Each structure stands twice: as C-alpha cells, then as structure tokens.
Amino acid sequence: MNKKLLKVAVTTALAASMAVPAFANPFSDVPAKHWSYDAVNKLAQAGVVEGYGDGTFRGDKTVTRYEMAQIVANAMTKSLNADQKATVDQLSKEFATELNTLGVKVEGMQNQLDKMVKISGDARVRYTNVEDEKDKTDLRTRVSFDGNINEDVKYNARLSGTFQPNQNNQTVGIKLDTANVSFNALGADATVGRQDVLLGSGIMFDDKMTGLGLQAGGLKLYAGNNTGTTTNDTANDSERMYAAEYGANIFGAKITADYLKNGDNKAYGINGSAPITTGVTALADYVKNDSNDADATAFGVKFNKLGLTVLHRDADAGVYNAYSSADVIALPTDKAIKGMEYQFDKSLTKNADLKVKYQDFDNMNARTSAAVNVKF
C-alpha cells in the first residue's frame, strides 16, 4: 500500500461517490488543471483529507498506512449512502489494525475483540519480618480470564499460585481463586460463583465467597459460603455467611455501613474517609462483634501525596476478623491489641507498586512487611 500517488487515487475514488461541492483550492501543490483537482478539493471541503501544516497535499509522496488510516477514519465520521459506506467499510477492514491504534472502533473487528478472552494478572514478591521470629518471603502470581458468554452474561476466572522458598518443603500452591458469571437481574448487578468480597476497609471481611452477590447503586448483598479462616495456624472449615453493605457520599465524606453473619459470629461496622485539608484525608473505622460484645476501632490520617497512612488501632480480644492476608498482615483475633500502624504506598513505575507496612501493638511482636506488586 506504500506506493506513490496512492493517496490521490484513493481520495479520487472516495470523492467520486460523495456529493460534496467544490470550493477554492485549499492546497498550493494541486493545480486546477490536475486530474485529481476536483476529488482532492471535495474531500478537503468534507474534512476527509487535511493535508500538511504548510498548506500542501503532497499527492506524489509515498503514503504510509497510518496516513491512509487517518483518511479512512475521517471518512467513517461522515454521513454516507449505501455505496459510499460499502467503499469505506472495505477500506476500514484493510486498515483495521491502524484504525484500532488510532482508537477508532471498526465494526466487526470490535465485535471480535469483545468476544475474545481478556487475560490480565499480577505478580507479587513480599517480605515479612516479625520481631524474634524467622523472616519470611513469599511469591504470588495471579492470572485472570474475563470474557462474554453473550451480550448479557459475562464470566471471570482467576488462578493463583504461591511459592514460599524459605520453608523447608518450599510450599507451592496453585488454586482457583475465583470462578463466576455476572449478569443484570431486575436492575441489579448479580454475580454467581466464587468471588471476591470486601466489606468496608476490609477489617470485617476481605476474602473469597462462593455464592450470590448483588449490587444496586450503593447497596451490596452477599449470601453463600466463605473459604474458611486460619487463626494461629489452625484451619477452620468453610461456614455459611450473609453480608450487606451500603455506601454513600455525605457532605464530601465517603461512608459505608456493613453487616456480617459468618457462622455463629455476627458483626456490624461503619467506616469512612473525608478530606480535612489539601492532600490530607481523615480515616475512621469501627467494628463490633455482636456475639461477644467485643469491638475494634481505628482512626488516623492519610497523606495522599506522600503515600503515607498513619492509624491508631484498638481491638478487644475476640473481635471476629476475616481480614485476608492476601495483601496485608492479618490482625490477630485471639488477643487484645492497641498501638500504631504505618503504611507507605508508592508507584515505582507504570503498573508496579510498593507497599510497606509496620505494626507496633501491645501484646504482640512488632512486625513489618514490604511487597512489590506488578500488574500485567
């Protein structure tokens, strides 16, 4: 397609089917007696061809595929009859790759892209240090598969693989993290299957559930079975769970209220964030276990530009806690804690982030974690 005079030939073919009046010649290098004069003039007036910044058309210049794609993209925005549309559609298929690069959706090609499975994921390296204990390092890779079953139903599946090289048996584990379908049901977004569930800031629940999730506006409802929890290296069986969350913006503050019934435990909580000055956000969190009257509070500030979050935590022993250890150090559930937590988040480069967390609480050893997460 990179041949001289191609630009003139194609613009002439396009102009032949377009009823565009000719006006004064916009290009200094296309003389009135040139055989392509009328065609170039018509398409210039229609905005299909634009020429160069110096007022020339350069019809004898070797044309690139991207220049042709730009001509076709301009033509696609015009009101066309059936014959004209057929000509432009044929050209759009020829230059589909270049048009997609330009951000132009080509009918047919876009449908094919929508039907393709989209693959994404992330990889994480995390280092954990607990005072008076052996340091730990773990590696994790997750790969997600998303696609459309039809126009109304979508599916998601995610595989997660972990590797802990500092353990004697060098534990390697691959599991199916999520597997679900989602659709619209009576005005609500419904997800059925194994899915992520995050309640509030995550202190109440941040894990996976197998069941039904519904979302309508700021209201979220969940019913199903959790994946089980691990406390003090003791695994607990999966339990029936029900949860609800409602979130809203009130006078600039983001507020969420949550309820969770997880096995025999019932808990509710509220958390919020609000700007207090430029670049500084106030944070607050409250959780109460209704089964044993234990509660937990957290309050602090986040310095957005610095990526620094400072929190004071105060939790009774026995506060139910399904805080996932996927991205943070899980808080204990069997002892009272009180003290400070510091977290530093920084973007290292595009799609690569660093998270460092330090916790210094009563009744437990100080601990630090540092993780680099890369998305792909």
Q: pLDDT value at position 203?
A: 77
CA angle 312, 348, 330 (to 5 degrees): 35
Q: pLDDT value at position 5?
A: 45
- Strands 352-361 and 337-349, how do they pair? antiparallel
| Separation of alpha carbons 375 and 353, rounded Å | 9
Mean pLDDT of the region 189-196: 95
- Strands 367-375 and 352-361, how do they pair? antiparallel
Superfamily of the domain at 119-375: Porin (2.40.160.10)
Q: What is the pLDDT of residues 42-85, one digit of tens each?
A: 556 655 555 555 555 555 555 566 666 666 676 666 666 676 66
Q: pLDDT value at position 130?
A: 85
CB 199 within 8 A of CB 260: yes
Percent of the chain with pLDDT over 90: 35
Q: pLDDT value at position 243?
A: 95
* Domain range summary for the chain, segments of one domain joined by +: 6-112, 119-375
pTM, two decimal places? 0.66
Please state which of the ranges 87-96, 188-197, 354-363 shows the lowest mean pLDDT. 87-96
- Strands 234-235 and 367-375, how do they pair? unpaired
Please state which of the ranges 99-108, 146-155, 168-177 shows the lowest mean pLDDT. 99-108
**Two structure tokens written together for 41:** 């003039």
